Structure 1
């Protein structure tokens, strides 16, 4: 877009524009992505093709030459709504951290996970691999699936495993891989594996896996999701060899995973709801950290009443809510009545949901 006069044009020249590479608007165009090796050369290239273009924050610029239709999002422009000129500074953000990932030398211990004896036993293999990846050769446990109800300790066990073996863990929420443009999430998958390989031995933990790997019968297949799954399959298949990298996927909905993805997992480890003794231990362990003393609390009774609750439900929806209600009521002690009332309300709420649920 050009302005009406030379004076208008000169008065509205952008001093600086910050861009972020986001990918292609359609699937199946290109496999590769532009990598900027020389920022000064790219800046000259960008100014030449986008000169006299009116730049607005939040809009997109599309490459028309080397990588046709590759999109860059305008993150900032100074002054606002100004025109790209022959001397505009153009900066492209590094996009290595587009996915919300965290590298953790976690303080969660393996023993912090109460119960899940079968899962802990099966994780012994992963533990031995991370301690000595070279020992396994081509027989390394590369892809492990954690599945089971929400709040049963899947994330905690993965972090505890990393802590026990003293290796870094990169955690990803699969929902954050889905971007605005096709190719963005796929590129991020490969970047995460590059990072993991550089830090190997390393765990990549992908939470909410079903968000991108849902069976096609349960979703409208979108181009960006398909590209993400293809990238993930490439990494899991070992086409690109990543020595010392173990992928752990987690889902609450194992039966809805796409078969192409679920078949890549060599081991599936089930997580189950805690039994009464485990619920008792969860309650005992956590109330010790209360900032207020407890009085007249029958812990065994609370453990019985919370049948069907996950560990996270007990901590977040029973113990925390009861403590907060005590503080709101200006009480100096947490009374057992608060805990029992909280459990009772939750049971009524859950029963109401079940009765009103519609089935097709």
Structure 2
């Protein structure tokens, strides 16, 4: 099998194809293609196409397919480098588009990095607390498993809000694990482009990728970083552009069955009102109560590679206001590091109490944190 990689190919002009533009046609802004091969194989030979330079492939595609009239499921045939090689049109944006233009963005289908396959699978029963949130998320599970039964009543946009470290990302991973869905975990700042117009292209591309890899969960963390109220336009010049592009996708103008958006924020009041109104469900994540904090300490201590000789019940009241991340990363982890440095065989109550008191002191007096003494 021969291999063609788009990383250093010199482009050459392709023959121009002339079509009469249909009346009231909508230009396609984004096309996702899948390399299929030749209609007829000679001696069983085929060519595998890969892309290392996306911009190069995009320019190559624009040169030869400008003004093509296409819809999802059609085929585009190469007439330049590998003549008659077929690319299947997997997805277009907007869905009602017809004509490709010199502004159309072409991309080869590259399955979304499925976070679930790269980490230990997470399930609802492993998430301590947040019972209300888990109950609310059952409808999302049903939708991802059988989106066709919901029709126009499908859940599309969900907002997770609450203090940091309360399990918002973990619950999104659990949803993907239990429904065997693709998961796109991104920080909101990853959607901000360098130049005017870049952000809207990135957002459109994100949703086009998700549609080609459904069922899919798009999890946007810290959404307030891009969906700020447009009152802050003077502080960030690209606020309106980002918000408008996001609104288009959240509105579901271009139907994406099997794709759901979950956004997370610690500051829901900072969100643009128009964006916030698009979330049909807002789910609160609470700071763990005393019983939940005790369970978190017991659960994570069992995962430590060293024995923990501590009666957590004696200290759990002093952890009031701490979330799961704090208990793991700022209490148990420093204890482990200290034990490793000092070559201890177990974590004692004295060590635990000293570290806990230091953490409380840091939180109340705002002093710099240390992993261990």
Q: TM-score, normalised by structure 1?
A: 0.71
Partner of 1:51: none
Shift, 1:103, TM fit? 2.5
Q: Is the 2:62–2:106 contact (alpha carbons within 8 Å) kept by the matching residues of 1?
A: no
5 Å-filtered alignment, 1:1-360, equals: 35-38=58-61, 102-106=113-117, 107-218=121-232, 220-295=234-309, 297-353=310-366
CA 1:318 to 1:220, structure 2 compared with 1: closer, same or farther past 3 Å? Answer: farther
In 1: Cα distance, 2:128 partner to 2:210 partner: 28
Q: Is the 2:220–2:262 contact (alpha carbons within 8 Å) kept by the matching residues of 1?
A: yes
CA 1:17 to 1:343, structure 2 compared with 1: closer, same or farther past 3 Å? Answer: farther
More displaced 10-residue stretch of structure 1: 323-332 or 222-231: 222-231
Q: Is the 2:200–2:245 contact (alpha carbons within 8 Å) kept by the matching residues of 1?
A: yes
Shift, 1:142, TM fit? 0.3
Shift, 1:185, TM fit? 2.1
In 2: Cα distance, 1:177 partner to 1:38 partner: 24
More displaced 10-residue stretch of structure 1: 302-311 or 345-354: 345-354
Q: Is the 2:109–2:212 contact (alpha carbons within 8 Å) kept by the matching residues of 1?
A: no
CA 1:176 to 1:142, structure 2 compared with 1: closer, same or farther past 3 Å? Answer: same
In 1: Cα distance, 2:353 partner to 2:109 partner: 48
Q: Is the 2:122–2:177 contact (alpha carbons within 8 Å) kept by the matching residues of 1?
A: yes
Q: Is the 1:110–1:163 contact (alpha carbons within 8 Å) kept by the matching residues of 2?
A: no
User: Deviation per CA, 1:210-249, whole angstroms, max 9, x where unpaired?
Assistant: 1001223456353433222211110100111111111000
Shift, 1:93, TM fit? 11
Q: TM-score, normalised by structure 2?
A: 0.68
Q: Is the 1:108–1:163 contact (alpha carbons within 8 Å) kept by the matching residues of 2?
A: yes
Number of paired residues? 278
In 1: Cα distance, 2:296 partner to 2:195 partner: 44
RMSD: 2.9
In 1: Cα distance, 2:109 partner to 2:186 partner: 14
Is the partner of 1:248 in helix, strand or coil?
strand
Shift, 1:115, TM fit? 0.2
Is the partner of 1:274 in helix, strand or coil?
coil
Shift, 1:131, TM fit? 1.2
Is the partner of 2:185 in helix, strand or coil?
strand
Is the partner of 1:213 in helix, strand or coil?
coil
Q: Is the 2:228–2:239 contact (alpha carbons within 8 Å) kept by the matching residues of 1?
A: no
Question: Which segments of 5 or more consecutive residues in structure 2 lack a partner in the other structure?
Answer: 1-7, 11-27, 31-54, 66-101, 368-373
Is the partner of 2:166 in helix, strand or coil?
coil
Is the partner of 2:287 in helix, strand or coil?
coil
CA 1:254 to 1:335, structure 2 compared with 1: closer, same or farther past 3 Å? Answer: same
Shift, 1:255, TM fit? 1.2
CA 1:202 to 1:17, structure 2 compared with 1: closer, same or farther past 3 Å? Answer: closer
